[in-house]
Amino acid sequence: MNIVQRSTIKGEGSPYSPVLYTPLPCGGVRGRVFLLTMIHEFQLRISPREAYDERGILSYLQREKGIRADAVQVLKRSIDARQRTIFVNLTVRAFVGEKPQDKLFDPIYYPDVSEAEAVIVVGAGPGGLFAALRLIELGLRPIVVERGKDVRERKKDIARIRSEQCVDAESNYSFGEGGAGAYSDGKLYTRSKKRGDCDKILRVFVQHGANPNILVDAHPHIGTDCLPRVIENMRKTILSRGGEVHFQTKMTSLIVENDQVRGIRCGEREFLASSVILATGHSARDVYRYLHSEHIEMEAKGLAIGVRLEHPSHLIDQIQYHSKEGRGKWLPAAEYSMVRQAEGRGVYSFCMCPGGVVVPAASGPEQIVVNGMSPSNRGGRWSNSGMVVEIRPEDIMPASLLTTSEAKRTDIIALETSDLNLSPSDMQDDILRPLLLQEQLERMCWLQGNRRQTAPSQRMADFVNNRLSADLNESTYAPGLIASPLHFWMPKFITTRLQEGFKAFGRAYHGFLTNEANMIAIETRTSAPVRILRQRETLQHVRIRGLFPCGEGAGYAGGIVSAGVDGERCAEMAAEKTGSE
Ligand SMILES: Cc1cc2nc3c(=O)[nH]c(=O)nc-3n(C[C@H](O)[C@H](O)[C@H](O)COP(=O)(O)OP(=O)(O)OC[C@H]3O[C@@H](n4cnc5c(N)ncnc54)[C@H](O)[C@@H]3O)c2cc1C
């Protein structure tokens, strides 16, 4: 017989009181328990050493609680490093006289949909893949078209960015199976409050081969070394259940009749269906331009632009774990999350990658874009994060409309035309201004990087003091760095706020503002520059029926999990629409 009891152990600073054992129907008297078999749930606050593995937790339970358990299962885990003494908070299930179930959750059943009605999914990033799987669950047949290559082939093109300094415009860190998330840290936490939806995304990942630890950790991550295999397995599910996946197939236009979508064109090829989930990500600028040229309703969106900041990971460990020893043997590489207001705009860290690498994430020629990722063990010698400044559409003004003194102001960013092939109508266009700014800065960065993928870089303290760095620290950025006065050529709107933010972070975290850290330019792809407008209830485009703008590119997600959640929601709405027709 299984008896599940909820018990809590009072730990330092814990608000919980111990819950006494209740009498067992299988024998025993109040206060003294004669166990046959039992399962207890505990909330523990214990040292990192004891939390490290099952043996440590078992011995803690026996010593502190008098429970001689045979096994424990960790249900939730988080690290509390706010004080000098670090604790690990655990929710565990202790098994006395029996074994934990092998099955962590009921796997999702994917029926055969080979004969079912089709729904087109454009893009095989997290938004598109989760949409496709959910469509199958709901009995519909996804036809996925993806402009890039499958996740293995794609890897070769990514390697060429380093070896040949060239970016394939259809196969890179943004485009290809798995989308922008495929070669990433695979951090799976989100600020979304819809916890239930997020848990489902994690379970789908586990069902396709991700480490079950992601169901347990407060800040789960898969790691760039494991993610491609999981993505491949998701594709295999889609294919084995009767769905279709077409690589190197780029949607070039929508087929629309009387404001109802009828399908898509991919060059000469047509795919027909009355629902299209458009999950093309935030780097598909050709898609935005196409939608704009067809007067498909969108709006300009705020974004954030800055740099990658790369510190030695032992320094971040020392700061975050309040110890000269760093993380020691029992703790993972430390994370941080920082935010400040500077001159009316947010300055914040973004997509922090402990023990990771900085990667060249451009999606076309004549651009430099940086991003970060980590392997599953986060064991590298360097830790990086984006450090970005919030920019609103109204902050961006065409340079041609500004006087010389206005162009130098720190509350405006001037959009230049000289390096960009922009028509005057582009320049006046409110909707595309944030996108044009991204393009301008990425190209500027490429010019500063010697027209290669060598990224302009400056030591952090030099930047704050407006000094060119004579040399740079070692870096994980494989194409190489070039010393450059970022404080001089990046827009003042960004540099003045970054300088202010860095000073504040340095005051709050002693040792953080240092010349041991490199700033690497430029981080521009933090979110979509426009939003494709959709109805709140049906998730269909505000005018075009059957068109479901989805995921990060449409402006409704920011990260792998939220893109996955949005993909599922769009699939559900597409199924509802199909059912009602
Ligand atoms: C290096 C890197 C690291 C990251 N690390 C993390 C992280 O650790 N955690 C996290 O939560 N987020 C991370 N992100 C962000 C995350 O990857 C994105 O938020 C997420 O992938 C967005 O999902 P999406 O499906 O909406 O779009 P995307 O992932 O961008 O997918 C869009 C897909 O559509 C395809 N496509 C585009 N245009 C067309 C077309 N015309 N026809 C057919 N296909 C098209 C693209 O090739 C792409 O595969 C990282 C991003 C990068 C670049």
Degrees to nearest 5, angle at CA 467 with 461 and 471: 80
Token pair of 479 as six digits: 């194409």
- Is residue 12 over pLDDT 60? no
The residue with greater pLDDT, 24 or 232, is 232
Query: CB of 263 within 8 A of CB of 270?
Result: yes
Question: Average pLDDT for residues 95-121, to the nearest whole number?
Answer: 92
For residue 411, what pLDDT is reported? 85
What span, in angstroms and rounded, lies between the C-alpha atoms of 578 and 581? 5
For ligand 1, is residue 486 a contact (CB within 6 Å)?
A: no
CA of 458 to the centre of ligand 1 (A): 28
Phi, psi of 486 (to 5 degrees): -60, -35
Judge if the beta carbon of residue 173 lies within 6 A of ligand 1.
yes
Among candidate residues 535, 568, 534, 537, the one with its CA nearest the CA of residue 554: 534
Helical H segments across 302-457, by residue range: 313-320, 404-407, 424-428, 433-448
Strands 87-96 and 38-46, bridge-based pairing: antiparallel
Tokens matching residue 519: 């700033």
Which residue's C-alpha comes closest to atom 12 of ligand 1?
559
Q: Is the CB of 361 under 6 A from ligand 1?
A: yes
DSSP annotation string for 422-445: --HHHHH-TTTHHHHHHHHHHHHH
Q: For ligand 1, is residue 352 a contact (CB within 6 Å)? A: no
**Per 3-state DSSP, what percentage of the chain is helix, strand, and coil (rounded to 5)?**
30, 25, 45
Q: Which of 76-90, 184-198, 522-536 has the lowest mean pLDDT?
A: 184-198
Nearest residue (by CA) to ligand 1, atom 49, is: 179
Whether the CB of 556 sits within 6 Å of ligand 1: no
Per residue in 155-173, pLDDT tens? Answer: 999 999 989 988 999 999 9
Q: Which residue has the CA at smallest separation from atom 30 of ligand 1?
A: 281
pTM: 0.91
**What atom of ligand 1 comes closest to residue 181's alpha carbon?**
17
Cα separation, 18 vs 485, whole angstroms: 59
Q: 97, 89 in Cβ contact below 8 A? A: no
Is 475 in contact with 481 (CB distance < 8 Å)?
yes
When the pLDDT of each residue in the chain is averaged and rounded to a whole number, the result is: 89
Q: Which residues face 264 on adjacent strands?
A: 254, 271
Task: Give mean pLDDT, residues 213-227.
Answer: 89
The type of residue at 392 is R
- Please tell me which residue, 34 or 140, carries the higher pLDDT value: 140
Q: What is the DSSP letter of 162?
A: H
Indicate whether 405 pLDDT > 90.
Answer: no
179 lines ligand 1 (CB under 6 A): yes
Residue 115 has pLDDT above 80, yes or no: yes
* Distance of alpha carbon 178 from alpha carbon 155, whole angstroms: 11
Per-residue model confidence (pLDDT) at position 184: 75
What pLDDT, on a 0 to 100 scale, did the predictor assign at position 80?
95
Residue 128 CB less than 6 A away from ligand 1: yes
Residue-wise pLDDT tens digits, 457-490 = 999 999 999 999 999 999 999 999 999 999 999 9
Ligand 1 mutation pick, 129, 175, 225, 285, max ligand atoms within 8 A of CB: 175
Alpha-carbon span 543 to 551, nearest angstrom: 19
DSSP code at position 571:
H
According to DSSP, the β-strands at 303-312 and 518-523 are antiparallel
The residue whose CA is least distant from atom 52 of ligand 1 is: 180
- Is residue 513 scored above 80 in pLDDT? yes
What the block records as the tokens of 95 is 């098994």
Check residue 195 and give its pLDDT. 54
Place of tokens 């266009």: 429
Phi first, then psi: what are they for 282, rounded to 5°?
A: -90, 0
Neighbours of 209 (CB within 10 A): 15
- The reply to whether ligand 1 has any atom less than 6 angstroms from the CB of 186 is yes
How much is the pLDDT for 417? 63
Q: Token pair 């970060």 is at which residue?
A: 372
Q: Domains plus CATH for the chain?
A: 4-96 (3.30.1490), 118-297+532-580 (3.50.50.60), 303-523 (no CATH)
Lowest mean pLDDT: which of 29-43, 58-72, 118-132, 336-350?
Answer: 29-43
Report, as an integer, the average pLDDT of 425-446: 86
Identify the residue whose tokens are 């259940």.
Answer: 241
Q: Report residue 537's pLDDT band, with 50, 70 and 90 as the boundaries.
A: very high
Q: How remote is the CA of residue 567 from the centroid of ligand 1, in Å?
A: 12
**517, 309 Cβ separation under 8 angstroms:** yes
Count CA within 13 A, CB hemisphere, residue 251: 30
Quote the ligand 1 centre to 347 CA distance (angstroms).
23
**First-to-last CA distance in the chain?**
50
For ligand 1, the distance from its centroid to the CA atom of residue 174, given in whole angstroms, is 6
Q: What pLDDT, on the 0 to 100 scale, is given for residue 579? A: 82
The tokens of 203 are what?
């379970």
- Cβ contacts of 470 within 8 Å, gap of 6 or more: 483
**Ligand 1 atom with minimal separation from the 250 CA:** 42
